[in-house]
């Protein structure tokens, strides 16, 4: 008597019951991969955006061609603070983005005398600006009006910032620089 086809299992055959198990396993992996891709996409679109630093205006904190993550959501939950490194659309040409450090927030009086920043009449200690990166120029006092920010690059003698073109409207600031991921040996959170 002959066995019906498919009812016996030889050495090189996979049992019929195992095929659905393998397919179920693959389907589970595929779901996990798709879910991971969707979550990563949503994080990039709504929370974190990778950005390449271009230029030297934020040296020594950020060097040309370094890669950072920008938190695009944080300023929906909290205010912009002095010393935050922000990414924003350049007020003179909103098709370009800039990265600078916030020095003055709404209501502050910012002045620069002989390269030293004064905030509301008090000299600001800026440990993030090494001596070789300072300039010796003076600028008249500026009152930061509501909904605007005074920003400066850390490399003061090589930065195009609020000293040149004025305040940054809040609506142009789209994120806070939070983490350097490239080069790997310098990876870590930003001050």
Domains in the chain: ranges and CATH: 51-185 (2.10.109.10)
- Stated as kind and residue range, the H or E segment containing 48 is strand 48-52
Half-sphere exposure of 37 (CA within 13 A, CB side): 6
Given a cut of 70, the residues of the chain with pLDDT beneath it are 1-19, 44-46
Provide the pLDDT for residue 11.
55
pLDDT digits (tens, 9 = 90+) for 122-175: 999 999 999 999 999 999 999 999 999 999 999 999 999 999 999 999 999 999
Provide the pLDDT for residue 124.
97
Provide the pLDDT for residue 191.
77
Q: What is the pTM of this model?
A: 0.78
Half-sphere exposure of 138 (CA within 13 A, CB side): 4
Provide the pLDDT for residue 7.
47
Q: Catalytic positions, please?
A: 57, 100
- Give the pair of three-digit tokens for residue 51: 């950005």
């Amino acid at each position: 008597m002959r066995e019906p086809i498919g009812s016996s299992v030889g050495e090189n055959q996979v049992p019929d019951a195992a095929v659905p198990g393998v397919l179920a396993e693959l389907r589970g992996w595929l779901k996990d991969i798709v879910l991971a891709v969707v979550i990563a996409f949503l994080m990039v679109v709504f929370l974190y955006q990778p950005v390449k630093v271009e230029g030297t205006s934020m040296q020594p904190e950020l060097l040309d061609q370094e890669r950072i993550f920008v938190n695009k959501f944080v300023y929906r939950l909290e205010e912009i603070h002095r010393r935050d490194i922000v990414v924003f659309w350049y007020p003179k040409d909103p098709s370009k983005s800039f990265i600078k450090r916030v020095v003055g927030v709404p209501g502050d009086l910012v002045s620069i005398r002989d390269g030293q920043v004064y905030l509301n009449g008090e000299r600001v200690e800026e440990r993030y600006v090494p001596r070789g990166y300072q300039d010796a120029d003076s600028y008249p006092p500026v009152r930061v009006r509501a909904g605007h920010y005074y920003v400066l690059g850390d490399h003061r003698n090589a930065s195009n910032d609020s000293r040149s073109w004025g305040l940054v409207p809040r609506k142009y600031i789209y994120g806070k620089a939070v983490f350097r991921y490239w080069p790997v040996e310098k990876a870590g959170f930003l001050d």
